[in-house]
Amino acid sequence: IQLHKKFDEENGANSAPQVQTKTTMTSNENNKNNGTTASNTTQPPSLFCSIGSPETSLSNETVQQKVNEFLSALGPRRDVLILPPDFTRFHSQAGMITRFVSEYYNFTKPENPTTSTANTAAAAASSSPSPPASVPKLQIIPALGTHAPMTHSQIDLMFGKELASKTNDPDVENPFVVHNWRDDVVTIGYAPATMVSEATYGMVHEPWPAQLNKLVWERRKDNHDASSSDLPPLVLSIGQVVPHEVMGMANFNKNLFVGVGGVEAINLSHFIGAVHGMEKLMGRGQNPLRSILNYASETFLQTNLDLWYILTVMGTNDKTGEVEIKGLYIGRDEECYNLACDLSLKVNFNLLEKSPKKMVVYLNEEYHSTWLGNKSIYRTRMAIDDGGELVVLAPSVEMFGEDGHIDELIRKVGYVGTPKIMEEMGKDEDLKNNLSAVA
């Protein structure tokens, strides 16, 4: 994100110091803190892993070791559901981490035997249990939101050949499930209308629906036979914390309520973000829209799902120019997200001494729509000089909206600015019912 220093000073961007710790806690201590009864099951601390700094460069081997330690602490599972981002977050390393989870549960063979052997030796030398002998049911739902489904080649590039091979293997069930934000969801509750009204300056005064893919909600604990020896289904949300134009910071519970959310929730959340203002959101982990999602997360997700987050922070190596993992955070509540936000502010913002008169942005093959490509505007507009020129080179852009109907609406109305689009919305019921297109 390009940000002029004057904007940073005027808008009070957070510059809190990054706290880097790894929480350690016995299972009994953690059970006391969570108000649950201690059992024979090992219960990891709510913040299992917190590693990162602007100077950190985490190797793939270190990440795999931490993931293996975490999964060992959780105990064996018969049902594992993974929610990674789609190809638009290719550089998040969520694909690699998903592969590590799959390999840990013996769902796929290791793609790097040397790395696997090293981690097996490390696990054997520690007090952690060995990887499970039985293979659990494992499903992967890429958090598409409104985006187009991933192609086989994208799955291959992002998640590896072993997982990709299972998408067309007639002898096994395809582990990848395509999320349909219009048809595959259930409403699990509502955030109060007062919160929505505050976030939209009174423009919208209606409750925000918390919606999830049905397969996620089926994993709730009350659907599990508590009398059995099996642990409840495990839900892993994996992704990158990075400045985001609608949510302030991407990932955490956005991965669920937007990534595998439904039409009503996504439409209203995008509209709230647009009305509240990108300049007041970008890079701010705490904002009115995130408060709505946090309310829904604490009220519905934490009590009903055995849900854990594995979050990365990516940055550029100053010497090589390569993208690398600067931080890894594993936890089940807001703490791991807040720590990741603190680090992202340090490594994902560039403060410029002078506002450029002209900026040029190149969009690679990940950006095949203006829905995605508009990030070239979001990520430069707080730096470019008033009256300046932005040139966007977008060889792969071939559509406006990722969703077919939203594409139709954008073609129908065009990018015409806030006053005009609000006027059109007042006259067009279709626009009223598709607020994400309006946003």
Residue 6's pLDDT is: 54
Instruction: Calculate the CA 188 to chain-centre distance.
Output: 20
- pLDDT (tens digit, 9 = 90+) per residue, 293-344? 999 999 999 999 999 999 999 999 988 989 999 999 999 999 999 999 999 9
Mean pLDDT for back-to-back runs of 10 residues, the chain (439 residues) = 57 42 39 37 84 96 97 93 92 95 94 56 45 82 91 94 91 92 95 87 87 95 74 94 90 95 91 83 88 94 95 93 95 96 93 94 92 90 94 95 90 90 90 86
Which residues lie across from 85 on neighbouring strands?
143
User: What is the rounded CA–CA span in Å between residue 213 and residue 285?
Assistant: 25
Encode pLDDT of 218-232 as tens digits: 999 877 777 666 788
pTM: 0.83
Backbone angles phi, psi at 195, to 5 degrees: -70, -40
Number of Cβ within 10 Å of residue 11's Cβ equals 14
Do 26 and 375 form a contact (C-beta atoms < 8 A)?
Answer: no
Report yes or no: 182 and 147 within 8 Å, Cβ to Cβ: no
- The position carrying tokens 């507009």 is 381
Q: Which residues contact 436 (CB under 8 A, 6 or more apart)?
A: 146, 266, 267, 269, 270, 271, 406
Average pLDDT, the chain: 85
